[in-house]
């Protein structure tokens, strides 16, 4: 996610066509595990074997139906979950982020079945967590099937949590509004209520199969790839979509947005925008193209067949989801926002590497993805606009806000949860100070080793969860030196 409130200054194709026609992907070549062949349709030909990298993935089968008046989503969800921990589990949790306080939206789970038997779950964390007790403990390496029926009430023009979950005049945004299993780690299940700023999702990668029925004139823009579209006699269309491996699943619905596309290697980039903002939509496509090409060179290959850039009402500037980037509507046409528009778009594309592929606990260690997405954006500017532009980013977007915080006595350690910061200081420290750690590493390691560090870190933790120590240990391994002083200065301690 990228927020605008702390940024002082960020300096220095394909014809638009008003179409709602989907383009289903072609059936991919056979993969090693035939049971997972369907999911391979979300991956580029070069990334087909990535499915085999996931140890006993959770599988979501979602059947959804959208009604416009009032905006409502009904759903049936079957989840096959494996216990990959070393201890038995006596309960399982689902996050219900559509119940986030004051959003105006609501998700109601009407039926819960575990292995076909009805159970009574318990709502926790202000109704954003659903605890399901297990009659029989789930042993390590065993699996179970959970079925949930639910209804989601979608708020109109909501401004809560960056206006990320809302029905507007142009688009309906549905970010992770289905029941999602959170990460289970050494601290147990993560069911805490995140603050109203920062990101919400901390989850392992999973495999998704989604069927969503919408009015026939409506376009579905979602994580993953569409493999079939069926039109019904009742004026509706069902879109069949797969996504894997993905940490969550984002859906956007529209009858208004236009599309421009470009193919980069094995990936199609789609930019969706309002007709009045066609120039901004083309710019978003151009920036995403350059960012995708640069980041593949800097870090490693992008594995998904699609990358969608969507104009939405979000007030965050931009928000990342697997295979989807949403950018704030106002940035598309405001001349004063031109520099920030480019920065935010490149930043969110960087999150496809840092969050979507290399995961982290965004609630308790937000800097792990945000700081690297920030520094990756600097590297994008260096590639696209030259070293002077990158130096301006370093000076004006990172160093200046941080210096101001130090002068005002507001410096803090970076390695803290979102809740440890005020909203303003969260932006300054996590988005301003933390990327300076990577600049310090770059200066100490030199260009060749710094590049090797980023590629090694990406390859080692792709589709996994990375923690702060993993970053430090990988950098020290590549460097062959101690980086404790840099880590202490930029990550662990406030300025003295």
- Looking at residue 434, its pLDDT comes to 98
- Looking at residue 3, its pLDDT comes to 57
344 and 378 in one domain?
no
CATH number at residue 52: 2.60.40.1730
| 149-164 residue pLDDT tens | 999 999 999 988 999 9
- Looking at residue 180, its pLDDT comes to 98
Q: Which domain holds residue 460?
A: 367-492
**324, 350, 376: which is the final residue of a domain?**
350
Q: Is the pLDDT of residue 6 over 60?
A: no
In a domain, 71, yes or no: yes
Summarize the confidence of residues 264-274 as an average pLDDT: 98
Domain count, the chain: 2
- Looking at residue 28, its pLDDT comes to 39
Buried b (16+ CB within 10 A) or exposed e, 23-44: eebeebeebeeeebbbbbbbbb
- CA dist., res. 241 & res. 34, Å (int): 18
In a domain, 203, yes or no: yes
378 and 343 in one domain?
no
In a domain, 25, yes or no: no
The structure's pTM equals 0.94
274 and 158 in one domain?
yes
Lowest mean pLDDT among 126-135, 290-299, 334-343, 381-390: 334-343
417 and 274 in one domain?
no
Q: Is the pLDDT of residue 165 over 70?
A: yes
| 416-457 residue pLDDT tens | 999 999 999 999 999 999 999 999 999 999 999 999 999 999
Q: Is the pLDDT of residue 17 over 70?
A: no
Q: What is the DSSP string of 261-300?
A: EEEETTEEEEEEE-GGGHHHHHHHHHHHHHHHHHHHHHT-
**350, 380, 413: which is the final residue of a domain?**
350
**294, 324, 350: which is the final residue of a domain?**
350
- Looking at residue 1, its pLDDT comes to 76
Q: Is the pLDDT of residue 8 over 50?
A: no
Specify the DSSP class assigned to residue 359: B
The pLDDT confidence band at residue 69, using thresholds 50, 70 and 90, is: very high
The pLDDT confidence band at residue 10, using thresholds 50, 70 and 90, is: very low
- Looking at residue 14, its pLDDT comes to 30
| 20-38 residue pLDDT tens | 434 454 443 333 456 689 9
Strands 143-153 and 72-82: antiparallel
| 110-163 residue pLDDT tens | 999 999 999 999 999 999 999 999 999 999 999 999 999 999 999 999 988 999
Task: Find the radius of gyration of the CA atoms of the chain.
Answer: 22
285 and 410 in one domain?
no
CATH number at residue 461: 1.10.390.10
Distance of CA 63 to the CA centre of its chain: 22
Specify the DSSP class assigned to residue 156: B
Which one has a higher pLDDT value, 300 or 8? 300
- Looking at residue 494, its pLDDT comes to 87
In a domain, 356, yes or no: no
DSSP 3-state of 327: strand
What residues contact 297, with CB distance under 8 A and at least 6 apart?
none
**Residue 245: cis peptide before it, omega within 30 degrees of 0:** yes
């Amino acid at each position: 996610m990228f927020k605008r409130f702390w940024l002082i200054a960020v300096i220095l194709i394909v014809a638009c066509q008003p179409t709602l026609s989907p383009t289903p992907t072609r059936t991919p070549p056979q993969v090693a595990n035939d049971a997972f062949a369907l999911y391979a349709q979300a991956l580029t030909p070069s990334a087909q074997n990535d499915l085999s990298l996931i140890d006993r993935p959770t599988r979501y089968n979602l059947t959804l139906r959208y009604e416009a008046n009032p905006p409502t989503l009904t759903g049936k969800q079957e989840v096959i979950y494996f216990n990959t921990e070393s201890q038995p589990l006596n309960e399982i949790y689902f996050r219900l982020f559509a119940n986030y306080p004051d959003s105006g939206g609501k998700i109601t789970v009407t039926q819960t079945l575990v292995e076909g038997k009805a159970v009574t779950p318990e709502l926790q964390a202000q109704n954003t967590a659903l605890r399901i007790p297990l009659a029989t403990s789930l042993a390590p390496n065993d699996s179970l099937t959970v079925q949930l029926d639910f209804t989601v009430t979608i708020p109109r023009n909501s401004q809560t949590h960056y206006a990320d979950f809302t029905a507007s005049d142009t688009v309906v945004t549905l970010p992770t509004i289905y029941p999602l299993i959170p990460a289970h780690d050494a601290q147990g299940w993560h069911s805490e209520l995140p603050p109203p700023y920062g990101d919400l999702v901390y989850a392992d990668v999973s495999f998704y199969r989604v069927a969503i029925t919408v009015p026939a004139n409506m376009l579905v823009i979602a994580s993953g790839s569409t493999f079939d579209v069926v039109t019904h006699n009742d004026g509706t269309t069902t879109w069949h979509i797969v996504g894997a491996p993905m940490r969550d699943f984002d859906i956007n619905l529209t009858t208004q947005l236009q599309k421009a596309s470009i193919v980069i290697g094995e990936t199609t980039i789609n930019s969706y925008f309002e007709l009045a903002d066609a120039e901004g939509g083309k710019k978003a496509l151009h920036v995403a193209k350059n960012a995708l090409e640069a980041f593949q060179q800097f870090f490693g290959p992008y594995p998904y067949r699609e990358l969608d850039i969507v104009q939405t009402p979000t007030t965050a500037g931009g928000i990342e989801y697997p295979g989807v980037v949403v950018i704030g509507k106002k940035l598309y046409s405001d001349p004063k926002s031109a520099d920030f528009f480019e920065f935010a778009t490149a930043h969110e594309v960087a999150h496809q590497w840092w969050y979507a592929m290399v995961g982290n606990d965004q609630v308790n260690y937000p800097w792990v993805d945000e700081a690297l997405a920030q520094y990756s954006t600097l590297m994008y500017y260096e590639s696209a606009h030259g070293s002077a532009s990158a130096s301006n980013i370093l000076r004006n977007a990172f160093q200046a806000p941080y210096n101001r915080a130090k002068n005002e006595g507001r410096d803090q350690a970076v390695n803290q949860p979102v809740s440890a910061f005020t909203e303003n200081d969260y932006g300054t420290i996590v988005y301003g100070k933390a990327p300076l750690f990577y600049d310090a590493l770059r200066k100490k390691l030199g260009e060749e080793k710094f590049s090797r560090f980023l590629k090694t870190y990406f390859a080692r933790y792709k589709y996994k969860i990375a923690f702060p120590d993993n970053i430090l240990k990988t950098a020290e391994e590549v460097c062959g030196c101690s980086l404790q002083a840099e880590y202490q200065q930029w990550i662990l301690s406030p300025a003295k």
